[in-house]
Each structure stands twice: as structure tokens, then as C-alpha cells.
Structure 1
Amino acid sequence: MKIIHTGDWHIGKIVNEYHMTKDQEYILNQLLQIIKEEKPQAVIIAGDIYDRSVAPVEAVELLDKVLGEIILDYQIPVLAIAGNHDSPERLNFGSGILKAKGLYIEGMLKRDTAKVTLNDEYGPVNFYLVPYADAAVVKDVYEDPNIKSQQDAMKAIIERIGATMDKSQRNVMITHGYVRGLEDPETSESERPLSIGGTDMVSYELFDDFCYTALGHLHSPQRAGKDNVRYSGSLLKYSFSEVKQKKGVNVVNIDGEGSVTIKTRELVPLRDMRIIKGELKKLMDPDIYNAGNREDYIKVILTDRGELLDPMRKLKSVYPNIMLLEFEDRGTRGNYDILLKTSRGKSKLELFKEFYKYINDAELAVESAEVLSRIIEEVERRGEDLEAN
């Protein structure tokens, strides 16, 4: 059976005040093309379908369009669960009716996990849909006071599944959360924390009885301990911590014995997310800005030492989609506490020279020092005149 595993669509997301819906429509059209080419027997969305519990109208319309094309036009069933960004109740609404059309969506955790069985030429494949629920919710649903962490919660869920699961058949888990492999997972700034102190981590070994585990939540495509326990990653980059990640979807083939082969189909965004660094004049050079897509979402780090007049306006004239502008931190080149302790007995000009060097890691120019000296003298003279009056 061929499956396309996706997750973390985050439809309706806003990144640094930029609405991403058009970019999401562009990338979802690519996904539709991949589905058309691959002709899978199922499409998985492993949580965080929307970016927030109350999705904007355009996000709902986009999801309706995409799911309608997959299910009605391509006749391919979709298996989806709620992630930690979704509203379980809203996703659950109408789920019973939608099953008849091929949309299997689980928003709220149930004591008995939803199982969807699809068939191929080798027989049945059982999909277990486990939406995101924190340990406290699982504790209430299972009426088990011993559930205190996500590890406890997932263990309880899988043990209940295992009590009735036919292990001689091919079984697939779909869930959402942090699964720890042999190494710590690669995380991104755009992922909402699930808990504090590591109680959100789940061991990959809990999924040993499944021939494939389709995970959502982490935005970087990666394996979690084993090749058949995987995150597909998000469809788009949603933070500058993700600039080096290549986004895509997992195309999973499960043979008659339950062995799995996986390939990745890469997704190319309408606008990439990049970080550029340098002096303002250099970044405004046509040879520099024409080397990449000027429409990309950009974080600029300026390395100029002096003051700049309205750098954002100038940069936006050539990089219209700048999301962030930062200046390189030069405040770590000295110990400011020591500077303060040695300030007694020094003139205002001497103090400013030391402060300038601390901030800019360079000496104040002679011409600038002369101008500053005249300004200080003028201010002090005016101060004396005011006191005299």
C-alpha cells in the first residue's frame, strides 16, 4: 500500500505579521500534483491542520478546496488527526458523516482509539488515529491516576490498542507530539511547546508493533529512532530557525509483509525564507540582491558600525518581504561592568570615547571627537547660564 504522509499544514498561519495563506495555497497545489503523480491509496495529515483553534475564513475555504479535490476528484481517502494547534471539538464536528466520503478525521481522544481499515492487493492495513491530548486529558479519559507524563499517556493508549490489535496484520499509527529517538529531535522556533521539563517526550520504542508511525508536530523532516517512525515535517518554513531545512512529504510503501520503503518528494515554496548579513551598502548592491529571489521572506542582519538613516525603508525597496531587521550584536566585546567601575575622574568626552569603543569595537574618529567636544562645551556653557539666571 502506498501512503503519502504529511503534517503540520498550519493553514491560516501568520509569520511576523505576514499572512501565509497564499504561500500555503501554492504549496498545497504542489502537494495535489504529487498526489496525482504518485496515486497513493491514502493521504495522512498528522495534526496541526490549522494554525489556531478558530481558523480564519480563507483558511477554512482553502482546506475545503484541497480535501475536496483529494477525496472527491482523486477518490483517495484522507486520514487526519488534531494537533496541539487545532480545536479538537471543531475538527470532530461532522466526522461521522464525512467518513462516508472518505475523510476520516479524529479531533478528540477517545477511550477506544479510532481504527480505519483500508485494503490493497495483500489484504487489510489498519490505521490507528490518535489525536493530540496532553497527559491530564488522557488521565481523565482513561480514569488512570498513574498517568503523569506524555510517556505514561502514550503507553496507556498503545496498551489498550494492543489488547485487540491483530499483530499478524499491517498496522499504522498516526499521532502528534515529541517522540525521542536515539538522539534528541531537531526542533524549530515555530513549534508551540507542549510542556516544560521534558515530560512531553515519548520513547520511539512504544511504536514497535506498528509497521509505520506517521508523526506530526516537529517541523523538520526526520526519523525518530527508527526508519519507520517518522516526522514528515511542515509543508513550509515558518521560522528563521528552519532556513536550512528542505520541506517535503513522505511517500511510504508498505509491502505484503509489512516492510516499509520511504522516499521524500520535495516541495518548493513560492517564497523561500532566508537570512542575509552584511553592511547596508553591500546588501543594496544589485549584484547581491539579484543573486537570489528578491521576493523571499528575509531576515537582515546589518553589520554597519555607525548610525543609519531609515535602513528598513531602503532595504524594502529591493527586498519587499523583509520580516526582521537586526543589527549585529557588538555589545559582547567587552565587560561593561569593568568600564563603569573605571569611569571616575574621567571627562565626559573620555567616557563617551570608551563607551563608543565598547559598542563599536573601534576608536572614535578624531573629527567626530572634535565635534563632540564642541557640543559638550556648548551644553555645559548653556547649563552655567541657566544656573546664573
Structure 2
Amino acid sequence: MRVLHTADWHLGKTLRGVSLHEDHAHVLNQIFETVVAEQVDVLIVAGDVYDKASPSEAAIKLYSDFLERVHIETESAIVVIAGNHDSGQRLGTASKLFDRNRILVRGPVSNDELPLVLEDGAGPVAISALPYAEIYAARRAFGDESIRSPEDVLRAQIAAAKAHVPETARWIVVAHAFVTNCQPSESERTLSVGTVETVPSSIFDGANYVALGHLHRPQIAGRDSIRYSGSPLAFGFDEAGTTKSMTIFDLDPDGQIVDLRSVAFQPLRHVREVMGHLADLIADAANHPSNDYIRAILLDEGALIEPAAQLRPYYPNILQTLREKTRELVMNSAGRAQSKLDDPIGVIGEFLEYVRGEGSTDQELEVTKEVLDQPILEDTE
């Protein structure tokens, strides 16, 4: 049985305020083409179909059109779970209308973890789809007040799922979790507050393959058969220059994973950084214009006049400019002053640090203090 594992589509997401709708449509088309070209038996989407619980109409249409296209034009089965960005209720609303022999969409958590059971020449394959669930929702679903962490939630789901796996079936688990020792990205949202959000890979013992979502970098999670496919697009500049991919493999009659490989996405626009002095960057951009999503790291000293505007004729999707000296500061503060507004000297110093790469000089500090110490004259007329 051939399986295609994808995750973390985040339909409706923007990158620094710019819509990624066209970029998403482009990669979804590549997923469909891979399903056809590779004669995929099962397509998995391991959570975070949407970027937010209330997605736009355009994002909903993109998802529903894709599902319909796969269902009508291929023989592939489809398994989808809700992630922590999705509304489980919204994602699972129409699930009862789907072809239950081919499509399993799991939205809300349930204590009745029924798998999608498929047959190939070697017998049954059970696919347990375990949607992301908040701790309190899992307590209600399983009637268990001892559930206090994401690990407890997943253990309850797996125990419920195992009870419905046919004895002779090979077993695939689809889950949305943060496995210990795996590498996150900037664009992921924390799964829990006040508890440990990671889960051990041993929690999946007994499964032949575990298709994970949540972390956006493709990676192995403990052993070769437990994997994150990663997101189809880079959603932050910390992923600039990385290759995004989906994972494809065959499940053989003995339950072994064979011919496991990555299929690289070819994005409509890359996410990348350029670094140098502004004049050099402008000259290079003029010779090599690009529609990629760009962050420019500037090495110039002193004031610059609207560097992004100067680069935009050649880089229409330039999204950010930073000074190399203040890169750490600006990335952490998102351009906002850390000083309180009742400390104007601190705010002014941070502003100078932001625009020119260094804070106030002693002379500037004295002038600032003199101005701030002057009495405020009120107009009494």
C-alpha cells in the first residue's frame, strides 16, 4: 500500500501580512499531481489544514475543491485530522457526508477512535486518525480528570484507537503532536501552557508508521517510521532557503516501511534573505529581479532613506529590512520598543538603535535630557 504523508497546510495564512493563497494553490496542485503520478493509495493530512479556527471563504474553498478533486479524479483514500490551529468542530462538520469507505476526517476528539480500514493484497491496514485535543476537551471525551498534559491526551487516544484495530491489521497512526527532541520553527504555536507540551516517541509503540503534524521541518521523531512531513511552504524567515517536501512510502505485507522518500515541493515563490550594503543589493536586484519573499539584512552604517522602497521595484515582495547590528533585537521585539513609555530616553535610544544600528551618543543624550527637562508651556488664551 502506497501512502503520501503531508501536514500543516495552514490554508489562509499570510506572511508578514501578504496573502499566500496563490502559493497554497500551487503546492496543492503538486500534491494532487503526486497522488496521480505515484498511484497513491492513501493521502494523509496530519493536521493544521487551516491557519485559524475561522478560516476565510477562499481558504475553505481551496480545501473543499482539493478534496473533491482527489475523490472524483483518483482512487486514493483520504485521511485528515484537525490540528491545534483548526476548529475541530468546523473541520468535522461535513464528515458524515463523506464516503466512509475512502475518506476519514476527524475533527473533535472522541473516545470512540474508529479507524479507516483498507484492504490490499496482504490484508487489512487500519489507519487511526487522532485529532489534536485540548486537555479539558479530552477530559470530557474520555471521562478522565487525571488527563493533565498533551502526553496524557495522546495516551488516552492511542489506547482507545488500539481497541478498534483488527488483530491481523497493519497499523498507521496519524497525530498532531510535539515529539521530544524534535526541532520546531518560529511559526508554530505552543500546544499547552503550564505543562510539558512534548510527548515521547515511545508513546507510538506498536504502530507500523506514524504520520505526524505540528512541526514544520521534515524530520524523524525517534525512529525512522515516526516522521514529520513538514509544511508545504516556509512560513517564516527562519526557514529561508530550506527545501519543503512531502513523504511517500510503501507499507509491505509484513508491515515494514519500504521505498520511503521525500518529494520536494517547487514553491511559486521562495522565502529567502539577502545581505549586503544597500547600494550593492539594489545593483544586484536590478540585474536579478525576483518575485520571491525577501528579507534584506543591511550592513550600512548611518541613516538610510526607505531602503525597502528602493528595493521594491526589483523585489516587489520584499517584506522586511533589518540592520545586521540590530538583527537580534528587531527579530525579538518585532520592531516594538521594550522600554516603557514613561521612560522616553529609553524609547528614543531604542529607536536610534533600530534605524541606524547604534543608540544615543553622549552628546545626543545630553541634548535629549535638556529638551525633556524644559517646562511645558500651556496656552491659556
Same fold (TM over 0.5): yes
* CA drift at 1:162: 2.7
* CA drift at 1:302: 1.0
Using the TM superposition, name which of 276-285 and 62-71 deviates more: 62-71
CA distance, structure 2, for counterparts of residue 244 and residue 198 of structure 1? 33
Structure-2 residue corresponding to 1:347: none
Structure-2 residue corresponding to 1:263: 261
Structure-1 residue corresponding to 2:310: 314
Structure-1 residue corresponding to 2:341: none
- Does the 8 Å CA contact 2:241/2:270 hold for their aligned counterparts? no
Structure 1 gaps of 5+ residues are 333-354, 384-389
CA distance, structure 2, for counterparts of residue 144 and residue 20 of structure 1? 41
CA distance, structure 1, for counterparts of residue 117 and residue 165 of structure 2? 12
Structure 1 SS opposite 2:84: coil
Q: TM-score, normalised by structure 2?
A: 0.83
- Does the 8 Å CA contact 2:323/2:357 hold for their aligned counterparts? no
Structure 1 SS opposite 2:225: strand
* CA drift at 1:160: 2.6
CA distance, structure 1, for counterparts of residue 327 and residue 12 of structure 2? 38
* CA drift at 1:75: 2.4
CA distance, structure 2, for counterparts of residue 115 and residue 125 of structure 1? 9
Give the residue type in structure 2 aligned to 1:28: L
Structure 2 SS opposite 1:285: helix
Structure-1 residue corresponding to 2:70: 70
- Does the 8 Å CA contact 1:167/1:209 hold for their aligned counterparts? no
Is 1:219 matched with 2:216? yes
Give the residue type in structure 1 aligned to 2:216: H
Structure-1 residue corresponding to 2:378: none
* CA drift at 1:164: 4.3
CA distance, structure 2, for counterparts of residue 72 and residue 173 of structure 1? 25
Structure-2 residue corresponding to 1:107: 107
Structure 2 SS opposite 1:238: coil
Could you say if the C-alpha distance between residues 220 and 197 of structure 1 is closer, same or farther in structure 2, counting changes exceeding 3 Å?
farther
CA distance, structure 2, for counterparts of residue 32 and residue 330 of structure 1? 43
* CA drift at 1:59: 1.1
* CA drift at 1:196: 3.4
Give the residue type in structure 1 aligned to 2:310: K
Structure-1 residue corresponding to 2:124: 124
Map 1:31-110; keep pairs closer than 5 Å. 31-100=31-100, 102-110=102-110
* CA drift at 1:303: 1.3
State which of 206, 209, 217 in structure 1 corresponds to 2:206.
209
- Does the 8 Å CA contact 2:115/2:164 hold for their aligned counterparts? no
CA distance, structure 2, for counterparts of residue 74 and residue 45 of structure 1? 16
Map 1:149-228; keep pairs closer than 5 Å. 149-180=149-180, 184-196=181-193, 199-228=196-225
* CA drift at 1:244: 3.8
Structure-1 residue corresponding to 2:240: 243
CA distance, structure 2, for counterparts of residue 105 and residue 331 of structure 1? 42
Structure 1 residues 234-282: Cα deviation after superposition (integer angstroms, max 9, x where no partner): 0101111112431111102100000002111100101000011111001
Map 1:22-37; keep pairs closer than 5 Å. 22-37=22-37
- Does the 8 Å CA contact 2:325/2:357 hold for their aligned counterparts? no
Could you say if the C-alpha distance between residues 161 and 62 of structure 1 is closer, same or farther in structure 2, counting changes exceeding 3 Å?
closer
Is 1:282 matched with 2:280? yes
- Does the 8 Å CA contact 2:115/2:161 hold for their aligned counterparts? no
Structure 2 gaps of 5+ residues are 329-351, 375-381
Structure 2 SS opposite 1:85: coil
Structure 1 residues 89-121: Cα deviation after superposition (integer angstroms, max 9, x where no partner): 111112111134833211011111131101111
Structure 1 residues 171-203: Cα deviation after superposition (integer angstroms, max 9, x where no partner): 1101111112xxx21111111111235521111
State which of 300, 304, 320 in structure 1 corresponds to 2:300.
304
CA distance, structure 1, for counterparts of residue 326 and residue 85 of structure 2? 38
- Does the 8 Å CA contact 2:240/2:272 hold for their aligned counterparts? yes
* CA drift at 1:165: 3.1
Structure-1 residue corresponding to 2:291: 295
Could you say if the C-alpha distance between residues 185 and 331 of structure 1 is closer, same or farther in structure 2, counting changes exceeding 3 Å?
closer
Structure-1 residue corresponding to 2:249: 252
- Does the 8 Å CA contact 1:47/1:131 hold for their aligned counterparts? yes
* CA drift at 1:326: 1.2
CA distance, structure 1, for counterparts of residue 327 and residue 157 of structure 2? 51
* CA drift at 1:132: 0.4
Structure-2 residue corresponding to 1:342: none
Could you say if the C-alpha distance between residues 16 and 94 of structure 1 is closer, same or farther in structure 2, counting changes exceeding 3 Å?
same
- Does the 8 Å CA contact 2:241/2:271 hold for their aligned counterparts? no
- Does the 8 Å CA contact 1:187/1:220 hold for their aligned counterparts? yes
Aligned residue-pair number: 341
Q: TM-score, normalised by structure 1?
A: 0.82
CA distance, structure 2, for counterparts of residue 163 and residue 101 of structure 1? 20
- Does the 8 Å CA contact 2:101/2:116 hold for their aligned counterparts? no
- Does the 8 Å CA contact 2:124/2:168 hold for their aligned counterparts? no
CA distance, structure 1, for counterparts of residue 326 and residue 216 of structure 2? 32
- Cα RMSD after superposing both structures: 2.6
State which of 226, 229, 240 in structure 1 corresponds to 2:226.
229
Map 1:299-378; keep pairs closer than 5 Å. 299-329=295-325
Using the TM superposition, name which of 15-24 and 242-251 deviates more: 242-251
CA distance, structure 2, for counterparts of residue 26 and residue 60 of structure 1? 16
Structure 2 SS opposite 1:32: helix
Structure 1 residues 332-376: Cα deviation after superposition (integer angstroms, max 9, x where no partner): 9xxxxxxxxxxxxxxxxxxxxxx99xx768xx9xxxx9xx9xxx9
